[in-house]
């Protein structure tokens, strides 16, 4: 069956590309100095002190640092510890179910071509009421990554699970969830040999994402629904922003007596500025999921013209954010 694109969204400054996480690590780690990237270190807690901050690991000796940038994901152990240290309710920072589950699987490009009758050289979405499918090429176009979202506010799929989880489930169950989609879509899904189902969870708005000489970035600070493909991008923006502040002469060249204060000042600025931005993207991302599934956020329903217009605007907010100005202002306030 030939399919026709309902609408196409292109970013003016956005390049096209998808990265398989394991491949990315294989490429980037050899570029770092020896000892910078260390694996098999499970950090549980930290202790700030006059000379810096000590990281405590479950399976390795302690390590001392000037500052901790915690990027330990949606179930961040350091976020729990931070809340515990500050006397904040630890349950309030735990990840929450976001009312979607996602079926995931990889198929060969040849299998995709056979099922869909056309190639897949960029990200595409197949829309339906309360369900949508995203597929895109990875590994130089040799493999197609498929993610099929199903909105499940009744927690029917989640069952007893109370935190982020994934498990293998029968293919027939996945196909039932996409009943009513076109035959070629179902043929594509059938090519997934061992589909797995994932609960989509997010991190609630935090009281704070910083403590004495530690800042949370990425999913640890603001895990969001994946509907705008923006979670990793937000983590990278956080990292860029915070590293620029911490590497600025105001912090780096300060003498030891002033250093801790300057680091904490940089962390406060990071929180003030980045918190607002990441919360907006988090909210927009959830709304995008509702738009794709004809639920609308402002009366769009299944009006494809209105949906396209709305999505285009919200993607520009993600792709064309002026981080340079954001950073310049932040660096000035550090003086
Ligand atoms: C289905 C789905 C699709 C997505 N699609 C996209 C997309 O297209 N584009 C996009 O930008 N984002 C996407 N995302 C979101 C993206 O995956 C995350 O936002 C991103 O991975 C966050 O990066 P992070 O470094 O903050 O956390 P993570 O990627 O979760 O990394 C955390 C790291 O910390 C390590 N760690 C955990 N605990 C400890 C500990 N105690 N001590 C030491 N290390 C620890 C983990 O092993 C892991 O390596 C998607 C998410 C999902 C669920």
Successive 10-residue mean pLDDT values, the chain, 335 residues: 72 69 90 92 97 96 97 98 98 96 96 92 92 92 95 88 87 97 96 96 97 98 96 96 96 88 96 96 96 93 91 89 93 91
Q: Is the CB of 242 under 6 A from ligand 1?
A: no
Distance of CA 225 to the CA centre of its chain: 7
CA-closest residue to ligand 1 atom 2 = 226
Tally of CB atoms within 10 A around 155: 13
Element (H or E) spanning 332, and its range? helix 323-334
Q: Are strands 196-202 and 166-168 parallel, antiparallel or unpaired?
A: antiparallel
Q: Is the CB of 58 under 6 A from ligand 1?
A: no
Domains delineated in the chain:
42-94+207-334 (3.50.50.60), 96-202 (3.30.9.60)
Instruction: State the pLDDT at residue 15.
Output: 63
* Token couple for 159: 């069952």
What 3-state class would DSSP assign to 296?
Answer: coil
Q: Report the chain's terminal Cα–Cα distance, integer Å.
A: 62
Mutate to test the pocket of ligand 1, among 11, 73, 274 (most ligand atoms within 8 A of CB): 73
Among candidates 315, 334, 197, 174, which has minimal Cα distance to 270?
A: 334
Q: Is the CB of 230 under 6 A from ligand 1?
A: yes
Instruction: State the pLDDT at residue 158.
Output: 82
Q: Is the CB of 235 under 6 A from ligand 1?
A: yes
Instruction: State the pLDDT at residue 285.
Output: 97
ipTM > 0.95? yes
Spatial distance between the Cα atoms of 67 and 71, rounded to a whole number of angstroms: 13
Instruction: State the pLDDT at residue 233.
Output: 93
Q: Which residues contact 264 (CB under 8 A, 6 or more apart)?
A: 210, 212, 213
Bridge partners, residue 46, by sequence: 55
User: Are the beta carbons of 82 and 55 closer than 8 angstroms?
Assistant: no
* Token couple for 229: 């493909």
Instruction: State the pLDDT at residue 2.
Output: 47
Centroid of ligand 1 to alpha carbon of 325 (angstroms): 27
Quote the crossing angle between the two packed helices 323-334 and 231-247, to the nearest 10°.
Answer: 30
Instruction: State the pLDDT at residue 22.
Output: 87
């Amino acid at each position: 069956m030939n399919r026709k694109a309902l609408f196409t969204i292109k970013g003016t400054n956005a390049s096209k590309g998808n990265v398989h996480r394991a491949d990315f690590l294989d490429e980037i780690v050899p570029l770092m100095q020896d000892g910078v990237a260390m694996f098999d270190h499970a950090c549980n807690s930290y202790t700030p002190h006059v000379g810096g901050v000590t990281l405590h690991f479950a399976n390795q000796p302690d390590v001392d640092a000037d500052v901790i940038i915690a990027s330990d994901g949606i179930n961040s152990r350091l976020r729990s510890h931070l809340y515990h240290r500050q006397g904040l309710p630890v349950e309030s920072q735990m990840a929450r179910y976001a009312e979607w589950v996602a079926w995931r699987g990889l198929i060969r490009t040849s299998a995709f071509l056979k099922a869909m009758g056309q190639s897949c050289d960029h990200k595409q979405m197949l829309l339906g009421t309360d369900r949508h499918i995203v597929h895109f090429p990875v590994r130089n176009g040799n493999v197609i990554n498929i993610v099929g979202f199903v909105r499940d506010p009744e927690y029917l799929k989640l069952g007893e699970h109370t935190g982020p989880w994934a498990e293998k489930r029968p293919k027939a169950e996945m196909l039932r969830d996409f009943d009513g989609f076109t035959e070629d879509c179902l043929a594509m899904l059938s090519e997934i040999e061992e589909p797995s189902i994932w609960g989509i969870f997010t991190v609630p708005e935090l009281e704070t994402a910083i403590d004495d000489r530690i800042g949370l970035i990425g999913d640890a600070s603001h895990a969001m629904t994946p509907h705008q493909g923006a979670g990793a991008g937000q983590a990278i923006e956080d990292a860029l922003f915070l590293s620029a502040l911490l590497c600025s002469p105001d912090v780096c060249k300060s003498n030891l007596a002033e250093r801790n204060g300057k680091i904490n000042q940089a962390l406060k600025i990071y929180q003030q500025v980045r918190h607002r931005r990441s919360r907006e993207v988090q909210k927009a991302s959830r709304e995008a999921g509702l738009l794709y599934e004809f639920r609308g956020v402002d009366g769009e329903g299944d009006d494809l013209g209105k949906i396209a217009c709305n999505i285009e605007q919200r993607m520009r907010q993600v792709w064309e954010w002026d981080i340079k100005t954001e950073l310049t202002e932040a660096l000035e306030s550090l003086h």
